Amino acid sequence: MSALTWAYRGPAAPLPAAAREALFARATMTDDAVRSAVAAQLTAVRADGDDALRRFAATFDGVDALTLEVPRAEWMRALEAIDPTLRAVLERAVRNLREVHAAFRPTPHEMTTADGVVIGRRPDPLARVGVYAPGGRAAYPSSVLMGAVPARVAGVGEVILCTPPGRDGRPSDVVLAAAAIADVNRVFAVGGAGAVGAMAFGTATIPAVDRIVGPGNAYVAEAKAQVAGTVAIDSPAGPSELLVLGDASADPALVARELLAQAEHDPVAAVVLVTDSASLETATLDALEGLVASAPRGAIVRAALAARGAVVRVASLDEGIAFSNAWAPEHLLLAVHPAREAATLDALRHAGTIFLGAAPSVAFGDYLTGANHVLPTGGAARAFSGLSTDDFVRWTTYQRIPRTAAAALAGDVGRFADAEGLPGHAAAARAWEGR
């Protein structure tokens, strides 16, 4: 029997108050110290611009006299320096991202009302967007691709990238190579809340953008939240999440591998198994115990399970669907009998992305399927969607009103305006009566 420690293991109903707090209060993880530190950094960037960014690089990254912008020649050298096999993988990922995001690109629409008014909506690409890619101790070229490629597909005029410098003052070769492959315009070796502030407010070197996208640590997430009134951002983001909804037909070994893969991200990653099958629960936990024992990041996995891991027993698949919709996971892995798959998928309403089929590994979506891995966390999937070309356009609405339509509408518009106490509006409309 598995000896793993879980934040909660028991029935979905009733869910104890302490378990509900641990599992559902994922969107409030930023503490007062983080909020205050981020606010101070944003204030400094607004006031001191590039000088503040260089101070932060010395303090947080150990880099003195940082050159903020990375010349394009260095990207190209990095592109030539990386392993050719890895380069081919990055290029394959970009091809898939372009193909998928182009298929779902927003398109203009126009219709005519019964009164003869023509209403149109046109998607206009944003002028400039900023992509944030985490860095420092690890490199995340996938984050570069996930942010930059859909922006390019949407027709954004300029894409800039901010990513933390290494000890040598520059981002890793693989991140720079990804920037080259994804057709980024400019790269800045700037990380953390300072980078978010620079993209929001602009500095002498880093231009202000229309939208900031991309994942990051708690400081980056908090900075994006604090600048959201100044610049558009993507969905709120936090530690990685996975909910597996499984029945007796699921493969316990597969489920265990997926739980471990997401839990290894972070000690506060959230992973949940929801099942109506006692046999799946037991076999999965036994398999997971064996995997964790030999996992290179086993300590992180154990910490995540103890902090925000759960095994939730439900009486039926319908109860499991209700729990999943309430929890609103970033990643949802559907491991049910194929005969139940379509109906279950239709009933699942709140998830960043759903994996199903014979080989539903989240890892495929993280890197190569062409779907986007920048997804809402912390329950935000109840209202937010994953990053797509929709995030890189704004909609222009236009209205063409012929004389006949104006004459037909004038009287009722005048009455509406009178009811709201706006005589000028009423007069403007009534001028078209009988014309």
pTM recorded for the entire structure: 0.93
Give the pLDDT confidence score for residue 137 in this predicted structure: 66
Same-domain pairing of 91 and 119: yes
- Nearest CA to 169 among 250, 241, 68, 297? 68
Contact call for residues 401 and 423 (beta carbons, < 8 A) = no
Same-domain pairing of 197 and 130: yes
For the sheet with 118-125, list strands across it.
109-112, 118-125, 393-400
Domain of 199, CATH number, reads: 3.40.50.1980
SS3 label, residue 379: coil
Same-domain pairing of 45 and 188: yes
Give the pLDDT confidence score for residue 428 in this predicted structure: 98
Please indicate, yes or no, if residue 320 is contained in any of the structural domains. Answer: yes
Give the pLDDT confidence score for residue 28 in this predicted structure: 56
| DSSP secondary structure of 94-152 | HHHHHHHHHHT----EEEE-TTS-EEEEEEEE-SEEEEE---SSS--HHHHHHHHHHHH
- 221, amino acid identity: A
The pair phi, psi for residue 39, each rounded to 5°, is -60, -40
Task: Output the 3-class SS for 279-290.
Answer: HHHHHHHHHHHH
| CA–CA gap between residue 88 and residue 155 (Å, rounded) | 25
| Domain count across the chain | 3
Give the pLDDT confidence score for residue 117 in this predicted structure: 97
- Give the structural domain span for 336: 8-29+238-369
> Tokens standing for 50?
């590039």
Active-site entry in 74, 330, 350, 373:
330
SS3 label, residue 22: helix
Question: Is 101 annotated in the active site?
Answer: no
Contact call for residues 329 and 354 (beta carbons, < 8 A) = no
Please indicate, yes or no, if residue 1 is contained in any of the structural domains. Answer: no
Same-domain pairing of 179 and 291: no
Same-domain pairing of 131 and 62: yes
Give the pLDDT confidence score for residue 58 in this predicted structure: 94
Q: Where are the alpha helices (H) located in 264-402, listed in sequence order?
A: 278-294, 298-308, 317-327, 338-347, 362-367
Same-domain pairing of 200 and 302: no
* Residue position matching structure tokens 């029935």: 11
Question: pLDDT per position in the chain (435 positions), as tens?
Answer: 568 999 999 999 999 999 998 899 887 556 899 999 999 999 999 999 999 999 999 999 999 877 999 999 999 999 999 999 999 999 999 999 999 999 999 999 999 999 999 999 999 999 999 999 998 667 899 999 999 999 999 999 999 999 999 989 999 999 999 999 999 999 999 999 999 999 999 999 999 999 999 999 889 999 999 999 899 999 877 889 999 999 999 999 999 999 999 999 989 999 999 999 999 999 999 999 999 999 999 999 999 999 999 999 999 999 999 999 999 999 999 999 999 999 999 999 999 999 998 888 999 999 999 999 999 999 999 999 999 999 999 999 999 999 999 999 999 999 999 999 999 999 999 999 987
Q: Is the peptide bond before 14 cis (omega within 30 degrees of 0)?
A: yes
Active-site entry in 101, 265, 331, 373:
331
| CA–CA gap between residue 222 and residue 276 (Å, rounded) | 37
> Tokens standing for 166?
């290494």
Question: Is 69 annotated in the active site?
Answer: no
